[in-house]
Structure 1
């Protein structure tokens, strides 16, 4: 009860302090992810997590004599990156679920049109009885239409929210057929079959490139950081022996820079192979970079002791 009251109080403060347009934009992202909690409440929860992590990492830094500045940076960085990744993954998962259910939805819509219902009435009927993320979006479309938005605008907005070119193309075909007065049920059925075939091709493409993806992930998160960490270990060892030069001193920094570039490029390459879309690379680059740096840090700092070089 105390936590709930605190969240409500913090959310009220956030609503008063943050620009409404920012909250609305953030709320749209939450809706895309299937999170129907108020944006201000989510931000309040995130703020509480920040405070908790700052306290926790501060205590850890004091106990382990760890750099306080780095600990505070990690206390902010880890929850932020975690939330962004979770949000992106939920958005992608929800969009994928909607794309997979669209062919069946269109087939059902075609059947309802064949029995004599209009497109608008069929959509309303399906929105009232359907369950799942697609029908959540459909209910939003119905509400927008009732509020005066045109059918074209509502469906185009839905396609933009889901960020799917296939859906946008399919909706355009359906809407054009609706305007021209053609056999809408047959056209929708054809679109459903085309989408189903396209989804099968996408699944086959993903399956065919999984070995390449696994190789990239292992190389980026294990092999490269391990090798670069050993470079740092070797450099430190040579410096301790008094045989280190300028190269040994700059090697760890160069390894870190290379690791960042390598991890980011690997993430974008994975996105390009899997989806053919570089824009999705960021969601892979961030976790790969974090994982790679974790391995690099462990090897660079504890590798010497493990391999008996101290």
Structure 2
């Protein structure tokens, strides 16, 4: 209880718009926690994890104070964003599941209505366990309709706890048709067919862009890290050669050529490569999600995979290069 009060105090300082966003995210992901508590918990965990990461880097890697502050800030931001991304993935998974069963649910409700059952009873009888989260929302809408609420108003409550644009547009189309005097069973059947056609088109589009997905995945997780490892190793070789040789200036023909080793820090190149790989894989993952599903948020799961593969390629290639050209460095 004390911890919850502490988190709630921290969360109260957050802006209202951000609180409303977190509240909607928690509702859509079926996480039973107050927005203020989640915000306070996320901030606390971010600092508890982020600052020790910076301290470990400062002690063992002997980095500068400025770099320590930068790593700590980045670690705090990564943890804070990751907690929100986890909720977003839960909500996305729930929405994707519901979108797949929308046509079956609509046709089941339509079949019950055509069998002579009233719309409110048809809704209640159509709430099947295999519909998952949609079952709960259909039951709520049916109970409200049985209690005397207009059927169109009851239906409009279904998408509020499920973050699916497809479901929202579907319910909106049905309610507008009802208000215009349309027959509910016919509306449900036609809407179910439209949703199925849309899903079929999305699958065809996804199949057609497979090559783009493969190219982006390879470029972000293999190509870029490999180039960064080669370039950092080349700079390290030049610095090493410049340090052990006494070459000052050479004359090629009539032109003097002066050899000077790079003055840039190897640590700077290393951390720049890590940061560049992180940025490349982050945006690469978002692009993959956009191509696959039309939503940037769906690419969050790709970011983790791309980052893991990219860093693995970077460090493994550095080890291989060091082994192959060890005599030169």
| TM-score computed with the length of structure 2 as normaliser | 0.71
Q: Which runs of 4+ in 1 moved over 4 A?
A: 124-131, 139-150, 243-265, 279-282, 284-293, 299-304
Deviation at 1:61, TM superposition (A): 2.9
2:6 pairs with 1:10: yes
| Counterpart among 57, 60, 65 of residue 56 in structure 2 | 60
Question: Which residue pairs with 1:227 in the alignment?
Answer: 227
Distance of aligned partners of 1:260 and 1:20 in 2 relative to their CA distance in 1, 3 Å threshold? closer
Question: Which residue pairs with 1:31 in the alignment?
Answer: 27
Structure 2 stretches of 5 or more lacking a match?
243-258
Distance of aligned partners of 1:131 and 1:285 in 2 relative to their CA distance in 1, 3 Å threshold? closer
Distance of aligned partners of 1:246 and 1:148 in 2 relative to their CA distance in 1, 3 Å threshold? farther
Give CA-to-partner distance per residue, 1:143-180, whole Å, 9 cap, x none. 8887989835962882796342x434433432233223
Alpha carbon RMSD of aligned pairs, Å?
4.2
- Asked if structure 2 preserves the Cα contact closer than 8 Å seen for 1:271 and 1:280, the reply is yes
2:279 pairs with 1:283: no
Give CA-to-partner distance per residue, 1:115-157, whole Å, 9 cap, x none. 3344344435556977622234445656888798983596288
Distance of aligned partners of 1:281 and 1:186 in 2 relative to their CA distance in 1, 3 Å threshold? closer
Could you say what secondary structure the match of 2:61 adopts? coil
Question: Which residue pairs with 1:239 in the alignment?
Answer: 239
Query: In 1, distance between residues paired with 2:263 and 2:148?
Result: 68
Distance of aligned partners of 1:197 and 1:222 in 2 relative to their CA distance in 1, 3 Å threshold? same
Question: Which residue pairs with 1:180 in the alignment?
Answer: 180
Distance of aligned partners of 1:15 and 1:55 in 2 relative to their CA distance in 1, 3 Å threshold? closer
Query: In 1, distance between residues paired with 2:264 and 2:8?
Result: 54
Query: In 2, distance between residues paired with 1:93 and 1:244?
Result: 56
Distance of aligned partners of 1:275 and 1:237 in 2 relative to their CA distance in 1, 3 Å threshold? same
- Asked if structure 2 preserves the Cα contact closer than 8 Å seen for 1:7 and 1:41, the reply is no
Distance of aligned partners of 1:136 and 1:45 in 2 relative to their CA distance in 1, 3 Å threshold? farther
Give CA-to-partner distance per residue, 1:205-256, whole Å, 9 cap, x none. 4345445423421321122211222112102211332255679889959867
Deviation at 1:102, TM superposition (A): 0.7
| TM-score computed with the length of structure 1 as normaliser | 0.74
Query: In 2, distance between residues paired with 1:11 and 1:79?
Result: 16
Structure 1 stretches of 5 or more lacking a match?
none
243-252 or 91-100: bigger deviation: 243-252
Equivalence map 1:117-136=2 (5 Å)? 117-124=117-124, 126=126, 132-136=132-136
Structure (1 or 2) with the larger CA radius of gyration: 2
187-196 or 136-145: bigger deviation: 136-145
